[in-house]
Amino acid sequence: MSKAKYSGKSQAAKKAPNKNGNSYAKKNGAGTKTAVTKTRKPYLTAALALILVVNIVFTILLFNEKRVLGMAFADVPWYAWVMILTNVINVVAAGALWYWKKWGLYLYIASAAASTLIMLLAGMIGVGFSALAPAAIIAYLISLNWKQFE
């Protein structure tokens, strides 16, 4: 004896198509995609947190350097303003990466390239290429989880 006999419903009524012509399986979601839960690895979480902390601290230091040196806003070099802008962009990119957006990685790489270019133009040749190393590391770590990004 099956449970259908006891529930008062017949097997034929369960499998009958609905008025749109869809089968019982489609009506109850058997043919639809299920949502995949995204799990962030600890190393990726640490890397994104590091991006946030480093860029926020560096931005605060750039703002405080003007005050410590007793400079007016007009006396601050142009590259310092661009570095502040790239740091803010890095924070936005880290936020996008936290929410699994692919464009966050593209934004972060573009910002790192801009930081490198600005440092080289400002005469900081030894330090200039140091902005590309974190971007390469982050890009590698994200490539390990690339399928989860939207």
> What are the tens digits of pLDDT across the range 49-108?
988 898 888 888 877 776 666 777 677 778 888 888 999 999 999 999 888 889 999 999
Could you tell me if residue 11 is inside a domain? no
Could you tell me if residue 1 is inside a domain? no
pTM of the model: 0.67
> What are the tens digits of pLDDT across the range 1-14?
555 555 555 555 55
Domain hosting 88: range is 42-148
Could you tell me if residue 112 is inside a domain? yes
Nearest to 61 by CA among 124, 69, 10, 74: 69
Could you tell me if residue 30 is inside a domain? no
Which pair of structure tokens corresponds to residue 108?
């972060």
Domain count, the chain: 1
Distance of CA 82 to the CA centre of its chain: 22
Query: How far, in Å, are 45, 124, 131 from residue 139 at the CA level?
Result: 13, 24, 13
Could you tell me if residue 53 is inside a domain? yes
Could you tell me if residue 107 is inside a domain? yes
CA 142, CA 100: separation in Å to the nearest integer?
Answer: 10
